[in-house]
Amino acid sequence: MKVLIVYDTVSPMRLTAKVAETIGGALKENGIEVVSFFVKDVDKAIVKDYDCLVAGAPTIYFRASKGIMQFLDDLPSRKFSGKLAAAFDTQLQSRFSGSAVKGIEGKLKDLGFKLVTAPLIAYVEGKMNQMQLKEGELEKAKNWGQAVAEALSK
């Protein structure tokens, strides 16, 4: 099983990148081959070479970051039938924060991917340019990565 993780991260603290790295580590611990890319560094042509795409981004102004949505929009439509996917985001814990995973999951489904598990939402806290992951969120990301690994092994 080969998994491609593509993530966007926008803060100087690279919080979404930390979540992506934690997920990748959990997948590797479960014997899954993983490659991870910052969204601006990935070649879209390689997506077809993987069994599963894990896509993640911060929630910005109630939706997924432009970077991850542009990446998904640029993928060839309906070419991923039978491929697996999962989504994650980082966001403030507020009913007013919106959700990146809704947009990411919707786009993945439109592209033909089958979602293997519920999305991961990793919560952040703090003031602008001083954000941090809330306590326990990296552990939650690790557990989610393990759940993705279990779903992929079925």
Assign 13 a pLDDT band (cuts: 50, 70, 90).
confident
> What six digits make up the tokens of 26?
């959990």
The mean pLDDT value of the chain amounts to 93
Neighbours of 129 (CB within 10 A): 8
* Residues 6+ positions from 41 with CB-CB distance below 8 Å: none
Beta-strand ranges (E) seen in 39-79 are: 52-60, 63-64
> What six digits make up the tokens of 143?
């557990």
pLDDT (0 to 100) of residue 150: 96
Exposed (0-12), middle (13-18) or buried (19+): which is 154, by Cβ within 10 Å?
A: exposed
Rounded to whole angstroms, the Cα distance separating 147 from 149 reads 5
Half-sphere exposure of 136 (CA within 13 A, CB side): 0
- 34 and 28 Cβ atoms separated by less than 8 Å: yes
Judged by average pLDDT, the poorest of 28-32, 52-56, 70-74, 92-96 is: 92-96
Global pTM exceeds 0.75: yes
pLDDT (0 to 100) of residue 97: 73
Judged by average pLDDT, the poorest of 35-44, 73-82, 83-92 is: 73-82
pLDDT at 99 over 90: no
Assign 100 a pLDDT band (cuts: 50, 70, 90).
very high
Assign 92 a pLDDT band (cuts: 50, 70, 90).
confident
The mean per-residue pLDDT over the stretch 26-51 comes to: 96
More confident: 130 or 139? 139
The mean per-residue pLDDT over the stretch 65-77 comes to: 93
Domains annotated on the chain, with CATH: 2-153 (3.40.50.360)
* Residues 6+ positions from 48 with CB-CB distance below 8 Å: 79, 80
